[in-house]
Structure 1
Amino acid sequence: MSEASETGGAKPRLYHAPPSYYSMIARLALAEGGVPYERVFVDIHFRLSQEQPDYVRLNPNMTVPTLVLADRVLDQSRDIAEYAFGVNEATVGAEAKAWLDLHYALPIEELTFGLFLARSRLARIMVPKVLARVHRHLLKHAAETPDLAAVYRARAEVFAKRLRIFDPAAAGPLAERRRAQAIDILERMERALSDGRATLTPPAYGVADTILTVFLARVAFVGLGAEISGRPALERYWRAMQARPSFAVADIWTRAHILRMLKGILFDRA
């Protein structure tokens, strides 16, 4: 993980991983909110940089994104998105809050990996091995870093739970449950947008549009793009969201870019 300049008075620093779902939410929100920031690449796949003690002290959840501000650290994509738009839980508005609550009720990793496991025999072999490897690393960090031992053990328990959730024998039912949940969100979006509105919470583009745009990108990424194109109002909205300059600036992934991901890992930069 390459370290950028310290914050004191400088631009906020965003620790992120390009293909990470929640990193994309943060990047898109910051782009739409016009917030200048400095990007710091975190290799969450090979070097497992999110487990290094310096990063753990910033974000004990060992997740991305993390936004370091002059006066605080935000380690949840929802908080970062609300910060970028200058709103918070109390001021975001009832309609936008309902969309955010609906979105964050879906465990997006269970949609992504549930479908991946259900479709791929190789994934059913490799995913449990990768999860077990991370679990071992976390326990090793706990033994080697006494002041963070409790944090590492708590995170290890998260991965022990994931090993149970992503049991290959249960991949089919898991994928179907999360697919149904995702399609319910798409259907709700279709109904809302069918009155011709340009954004989810008129009159202007807002935080709900940012988060649901990334959700649509993930729907396309996991091979469910037909569920968007089969809904005319949603398809119109999706095309409009992709045409916004922020979509390219924020580097929103609608498909895997293996070579780009490897380049980022090898050269340790976004």
Structure 2
Amino acid sequence: MNQASNQLELLNAASSYYSMVARLALVEADIPFYNHMLDIHFAKQQLSDRYRELNPQMTVPTLRAENLLLTSSKDILQWAACQAGASWMDSDISLTLLINELVSNHYLISIEDLTFGKWLSSNKLLAFVFPRMLASTVTRLENQLESVDSLSPVDIIALKNKAQLNRSRLAYFTEGSQKQKLEDMRLKWSNYLHTIPLIESNQFIFGDRFSSIDVVLAVLFARLTMINETSLIDRPDLQNWWGRVQLRGSLRVADLWMRMQRRRLLLTAWKARNTVIN
């Protein structure tokens, strides 16, 4: 797809959970977009000066067009729901508050803590490498802060916040009982899934149309599948819903990862680092 100046551009990463939320939201809302992949693992393009100008949080995804700039998957999801109109259940004002609450509560729980907690507990090499990658990121951010004379106050705050976030993540994955933390994360996600209303047969969560919470749960279940944590999906209605949703072509178009694809991870990272963030 060739990028036009007035075309929606989604800056994201192939394996990123929140990028998948944005991609699926746009696909399900039938919104065309240019898929601009970034390398967030090796080249760490999200930490570049140009990307920070667009998204001070230095996270993916970011959605932009001539008169639009959204810097979180939650905002992109909400915008897509508005664009989808009556084709999504979000348009039913009697459901708006409940859908928004379920989506917001999803964002209160860290999927990355569950993901990496699971991987670090079962992969000694990753358990050795990952903390060092986080420490390297902190060092890189601190080095960027040393050029304080050329940074704006907004840049300084953004870099300090990002460095502190990575310090916190480093502490989380290196201090205390990792086994207990993993169990705590499992419990949080299990409790969350039990707040989802009972789903009727052959329906989506709130009826015969998709909604924001269907988007979020589809990505969540894809991640639980990828990290072998589908035992958390212990309700038959949720299992049946997931079986139906997997038949939708949108999951393929949006490139939801249900298994770790190491070769694709390296390939997309290699291609991404050769693209320019304008």
Q: TM-score, normalized by length of structure 1? A: 0.89
Residue segments in structure 1 that go unaligned for 5+ positions in a row: none
| Deviates most, 206-215 or 23-32 | 206-215
Give the alignment partner of residue 267 of structure 2, picking from 257, 263, 269: 263
* Cα pair 1:115 1:171 within 8 Å, conserved: no
- Asked whether 1:224 is paired with 2:229, we answer yes
- Asked whether 1:31 is paired with 2:27, we answer yes
Q: How far apart are residue 101 of structure 1 and its match? A: 2.2
* Cα pair 2:9 2:36 within 8 Å, conserved: yes
Cα RMSD of the aligned pairs, angstroms, is 2.3
- Asked whether 1:61 is paired with 2:67, we answer no
- Asked whether 1:81 is paired with 2:77, we answer yes
- Asked whether 1:200 is paired with 2:205, we answer yes
Q: How far apart are residue 267 of structure 1 and its match? A: 2.0
- Asked whether 1:247 is paired with 2:251, we answer yes
Q: How far apart are residue 134 of structure 1 and its match? A: 0.4
* Cα pair 2:15 2:257 within 8 Å, conserved: yes
1:186-197 correspondence runs (5 A): 186-189=193-196, 192-193=198-199, 195-196=200-201
What CA distance in whole angstroms lies between the structure 2 residues aligned with 1:224 and 1:248? Answer: 21
Give the alignment partner of residue 51 of structure 1, picking from 41, 47, 57: 47
Give the alignment partner of residue 163 of structure 2, picking from 156, 177, 202: 156
User: 1:143 corresponds to which residue?
Assistant: 146
Q: How far apart are residue 34 of structure 1 and its match? A: 0.8
Q: State, as a whole percentage, how many aligned pairs show the same letter.
A: 29
* Cα pair 2:118 2:227 within 8 Å, conserved: yes
| Deviates most, 68-77 or 22-31 | 68-77
* Cα pair 2:39 2:270 within 8 Å, conserved: no
Q: Tell me which amino acid in the other structure corresponds to 1:146.
A: L
SS state of the match for residue 73, structure 1? strand
User: 1:126 corresponds to which residue?
Assistant: 129
Q: How far apart are residue 224 of structure 1 and its match? A: 1.0
What CA distance in whole angstroms lies between the structure 2 residues aligned with 1:266 and 1:116? Answer: 23
Q: Tell me which amino acid in the other structure corresponds to 1:199.
A: F
| Deviates most, 87-96 or 72-81 | 87-96
What CA distance in whole angstroms lies between the structure 2 residues aligned with 1:142 and 1:36? Answer: 38
Count of residue pairs the alignment pairs up:
262
